[in-house]
A and B are shown apart, each in its own frame.
Chain A
Amino acid sequence: MTVTNSPVSAASITPSSSARPLTMAILAMGGEGGGVLADWVVAVAERNGYFAQNTSVAGVAQRTGATVYYVEMLPKSGDNPEQREPILSTMPTPGEVDIVVASELMESGRAIQRGFCTPDRTTLIASTNRVYSMPERTAMGDGRIDSQGLIDAGKNSAKRFIRADFNKLAIDNRSVISASLFGAIAAAQVIPFTREQCEDIIRGGGKGIEASLAAFDAGFNAALASERPVVELTIGSRPPEVEKSGPTAEVLSMAINNPSELVGPRLTQCAERIHSEFPEQARYMLVEGIKRCAEYQDVKYAEQYLDRVARVTQVDSTPDNKLTLEAARYTALWMTYEDTIRVAFHKTRKVRFDRVKEESRASDAEMVQVREFLHPQIEEITDTLPTPMGRWLLNSKPFQWLVFKITNKGIKIQTSSVWGFTVLYLLAKLRPLRRRSLRFGIEQKRIDNWISMLVSLAPGNGELAYQVCLCQQLIKGYGDTHANGLRNFTEIIDYIPTAEKSPDPANKIKELRGAALSDETGKALTVALGRAL
């Protein structure tokens, strides 16, 4: 079905079948404006010669949870000369829904799962933004589900599938998603009302009329654009529609063929090393790695980084050099471990100030202040001090007391003030001291042990080395989170000799890593290690 850009008058549209009500299910999260949208649809229907009914469930069941608003409408004239009130259903019948509106992508999947969205009948209007579910958000790693799978499901399950990021369109117009979705509903022309008739309903409302109309317009146009046939420029499969972050093809090819172009003059030598010593697949990651290490410490540190990864590359025989690629990633992440100096550095940069201001949506007439919530543990202070002093203070009772007194309730620093900025600026300035600090020594030793482990495993079992390499993912965060991650990592590393005796050691390590990532308390890992709880 093609949708034209010209407005169609209500009279020229006939309902889908003679005396069958038009049905619409709106799937949204409680408090998201689904109710407002349903009310608008009912209002436009009632004002233009239709009987309309909407129902929903209210109450505590609605607080932020998934909920369905349901609308039915039937013309007053035509097939109903008596003008009698029709009998409309209070619940959608699977397989019999004309329009499904989903305020978010997973909710469109829910509509399909519940049978509301069917290929023979339904026009599916879905916002492609994600509101992540609790399991997706609380996962210790990446728990996000595959959005492309939901889009593909929409294509297979609907007669027409109108999709756009209606949430973004609403936010861009300082409005809410109900307005942009109403525009999409008007554009879809399944309910026989014109754009003007729909806009009149918004105009009759209370506040934010201009913003609502702007979002309506954006939604209307996005819906039309969504169904316009796409001219295929490339042969073969179309690229996925879900945006994947990552480098462009141009940057990737530059990293492979001429990595020097991606770095400044101080790193030219390192970049040339990447080009001559490392496999193509890892070069982009290595370029990022040297910049990261140089920014974190100095150019010498970037060279050290390449030395470490080079040790792994020499023994890497995995397909696509995936071991080198991941070693390039995780060595850099480990070498640039999160210490106070790094945090202070990033908090004081201009890009950060600009981003915070932008995010606050403050106009130039308004003023923006930033306050940090810091809770330095004694270790985080002693970590950055020269090794002997750090070690001494870490065990000093008076120092422990002092740190506790100062930081127990946390410290709030206003980075946007002269004093606050100075404190963080000076902390960041401690960078040259880092090489002599307590933690630096400890981390370098840990990194080298891990690299040596990879180097010793790789010739015999590349896959095992690869899985061990990925375990670095467990070490992240700050304070207790970091300590727990490191403990899990160490336990898995210590288990390698045992794992090597099993039929599939690589898979065992993969399993252990999964267990560590599945449960914050560490119980799942304990079980997977075969120990008593």
Chain B
Amino acid sequence: MAERSFANEVQELRLGAGAEFRGEGILAVTKGLLQSGVAYVGGYQGAPISHLMDVLGDAHEILEELDVYFENSASEATAAAMLAASVHYPLRGAVTFKSTVGTNVASDALANLASGGVLGGALIIIGEDYGEGSSIMQERSHAFAMKSQMWLLDPRPNLTAIVDFVEKGFELSEASSTPVMLELRLRSCHLHGSFITRDNKRPPFTLKEAIENPQRDVSRVVLPPSSFTHEQEKVKDRWPAAVKFIQENELNEFVAEKDQNIGIILQGGLFNTVNRSLELLGLSDPYGNSQIPLYVLNVTYPIIDQEVLRFCEGKDAILLVEEGQPDYIEQNINTVLRRAGDTTALHGKDLLPVAGEYTPAAVTKGVTAFIQKYLPSKINSENLPAIVFDNDDPRSPFAPRVAPELVQGRPPGFCTGCPERPIFAALKLAEREVGSHIVSADIGCHLFSINAPFNIGATTMGYGLGSASGSAFNAKDSDKRTIAFMGDGGFWHNGLTSGVGNAVFNENDQLLVVVDNAYSAATGGQDVLSSRAEALNRSTNHPIERAVRGIGVKWSRTMTNTFKVAEMRDLFKEALTTKEKGPKVIVAQSECTLNRERREKPARAKKIKEGKRVVRERYGVDPETCTGDHSCIRISGCPSLTIGPNPDPMRNDPIATVLDSCVGCGLCGENAHAAALCPSFYRTEVIYNPSWWDKAKLGIRQKYIGWLQKGIEKQLVGIDAA
């Protein structure tokens, strides 16, 4: 079950023509797919398109009514390969994943798909995880579009444009026999807005019809000699067809085209940012009525030579606003101008940052510099936006007003009650005894181990590649082994073969820890093969240990409760010292707390309401005995275990304290034991609707304890002022 449910929102997907749809970008994309008559959809979750997968999952009834097939692909490669259904049949298909990382994984299938071309429209919806909030390396998906020749759409960030481009994307794909990539920027996915709907369309040709009427055309298979033919087809047939379609359908936009002797060319996705910059300079308004000519590239690949030349005609200079590097579009447009002998000056990365996100600040500075150079009369220097001033100018919003040491970084970390935290606490304790090791990390929540307080993990090479990235450290003459981490998501994505299989085959002696929290948790709690819950339309409950034993691992243990820190620590020590050869695999299994609490909190509340006996647990720290050394925090880092003022008038250091947000996971108590920390921790158990037996015990206890406590206080009489 995913972290967020869209069960209510998906009902909006049924809206017919002419209604107003309000909601998030990802819902709009789904509606766009249904309006396009899509026949099948697949994908792999990952921010920022995780919720697109969740929406599709929650919309299964609507999809079934419309004969649309949806699957949660095993990986992005699986999703991309799924598009093979559009090679020989007039079937519209869409897949979605996070990019560039997902596109990296998918690129083998995508390259083959793009070589042979498609008959039915093939749309690849990529969530471009770039800029603030991104969790991956900063690269551009543009390169994939260029190398395999797939068209790249980067529409303006508003829901109407996004929905239109879903539909136009299919048409463009069919018109040019080429897969089309639709780029959704990080913030567009969670953009709240509205658009006017059209009717949903049932696919005119269905998967069932395809299965019952098999077709083949050997010229579409990537094998010589066809592969050489494909390369020629790409430039001779498909490219011109795409250019024609893009021009005829006016996918790119011209604004105030002939108004000035200068102009700005921009990626569609940056339209709102550029417009805001012009607004701040008094050169546009909130409705996009720019006084500066704009050429908006809603299609960023291919570049339409004729349109570029048309826009540059009669202009002295152009500013290209192209985010990220390398500057593929700038190079392309320079070539176009040079070949045509056009002398218009082209500016881009000389006035704008070479690398990094094009924030309103970056764009405004660049646009201002450009206009000041060519059209200074248009700028009112009395009324410049604050952002254009240097940081040391008091008018600048960045003029130092807060001491830098007062604002510390706050990177993401493990949630309160996360079952992965004790795994790293245990490893930290084990390493105190058996020394430090090379630790290869993977992708997933467990990667938070690299930060304080655990500081565990040295590399991360990609999803499911934790084990593989330790494979070189296989020196037979060392008596130390290496440790690798992998999540259950990465394990099923590819880690079983790329990591475990590889380690078995090459007789690697490493310890692999598979963090099995029952979901692909980092991406929003989607089910995987080893999920323990029964899932609708999906087969779950396939244990990881069985899989690794099946592939040849001899030493494998499943730890079903990661919170048993001492046992976990001892298991690490055993795995790091056992004489057994070959990979050692520990499956560290406890359910993701976010998911568990989401399920159990309402259930608990219901039981309490019904008058049933319920025990709620939370932890606490005694302020009298806590000495404020914080060693408990240094092996936990739990957001609910924090510091607070020391009530002891003689002590200066803050004491440890447990916040109300504590979910009673038990780690504090386990750590206190395993690390022999301090006796200050206690667990409070609140019993709702106590039984008669509870009440009877309580009566006796209160009398007995109350009597003894009176005695204690008596001893102290005369020490403190009355």
Contact = CB atoms under 8 A, between A and B. Distances in A.
A346 B688 contact: no
Contact of A375 (B415, B649, B672, B722): B672
A54 B191 CA distance: 6
B429 to A, nearest CB: 11
B709 interface: yes
A207 B695 CA distance: 32
Interface in B369-412: 385-387, 396-398, 401-412
A420 to B, nearest CB: 10
B50 A91 contact: no
B649 A246 contact: yes
A133 B46 CA distance: 27
B386 A118 contact: yes
Q: How large is the interface on B (under 10, 10 to 19, 20 to 34, 35 or more residues)?
A: 35 or more
A141 B410 CA distance: 20
B160 interface: yes
Given A52-B192, A55-B187, A142-B653, A479 B719 contact: no
Contact of B408 (A145, A342, A367, A479): A145
Contact of B690 (A84, A267, A366, A410): A366
Which interface residue of A59, A116, A142, A520 has the most chain B CB atoms within 10 A? Answer: A59
B676 A417 contact: no
Given A90-B273, A367-B694, A428-B712, A157 B387 contact: no
B270 to A, nearest CB: 10
B7 to A, nearest CB: 13
Contact of B687 (A82, A367, A425): A367
Interface stretch (A92-100, A197-205, A217-225): A92-100
Contact of A481 (B158, B678, B713): B678
Given A63-B448, A87-B275, A144-B654, A371 B410 contact: no
Interface residues of A, number: 140
B145 interface: no
A295 interface: yes
A125 to B, nearest CB: 17
B492 interface: no
Given A93-B364, A263-B720, A134 B287 contact: no
A346 B627 CA distance: 13
Interface in A324-370: 329, 332-333, 338, 342-343, 345-350, 352-353, 356, 359-362, 365-370
A417 B708 CA distance: 13
Contacts of B361: 93-94, 115
A418 B704 contact: yes
Nearest to A347: B622
B133 A57 contact: yes
Contacts of B682: 347, 356, 370-373, 415
B190 interface: yes
Contacts of A60: 47, 135, 412, 444-445, 522-523
Interface string A408-425: 011010011110010001
Interface string B132-160: 11110000000000000000000001101
A145 B273 contact: no
Contacts of B652: 141-142, 473
Contacts of A480: 675-676
Interface string B348-377: 000000000001110010000000000000
Contacts of A485: 629
B135 A360 contact: no
A58 B701 contact: no
Max chain B Cβ within 10 angstroms of own Cβ: one of A87, A371, A421, A480: A87
A132 B624 CA distance: 21
Contacts of B649: 246-247, 284, 288
Contacts of A342: 625
A30 interface: yes
A327 B537 CA distance: 71
B47 A61 contact: yes
Contacts of B48: 57-59
A352 B709 CA distance: 11
B672 A410 contact: yes
Interface stretch (B256-264, B299-307, B475-483, B639-647): B639-647
B12 to A, nearest CB: 15
Interface stretch (A64-72, A312-320, A496-504): A64-72
Interface in B172-196: 185-194
A29 B410 contact: yes
Interface in A75-114: 80, 82, 84-96, 106, 109-110, 112-113
Interface of A: 19-21, 29-31, 39, 42, 46, 52-68, 74, 80, 82, 84-96, 106, 109-110, 112-113, 115-116, 118, 120, 131-142, 144-146, 149-150, 153, 156-157, 171, 245-247, 261-267, 284-285, 288-289, 291-292, 294-295, 329, 332-333, 338, 342-343, 345-350, 352-353, 356, 359-362, 365-375, 377, 409-410, 412, 415-418, 421, 425, 428, 473, 476-481, 485, 520
Given A87-B287, A145-B405, A146-B406, 7 more contacts: A19-B285, A57-B186, A59-B48, A110-B410, A133-B408, A350-B706, A417-B697
11 contacts: A29-B410, A31-B415, A57-B134, A65-B412, A144-B654, A149-B402, A149-B406, A291-B720, A292-B650, A348-B708, A359-B620
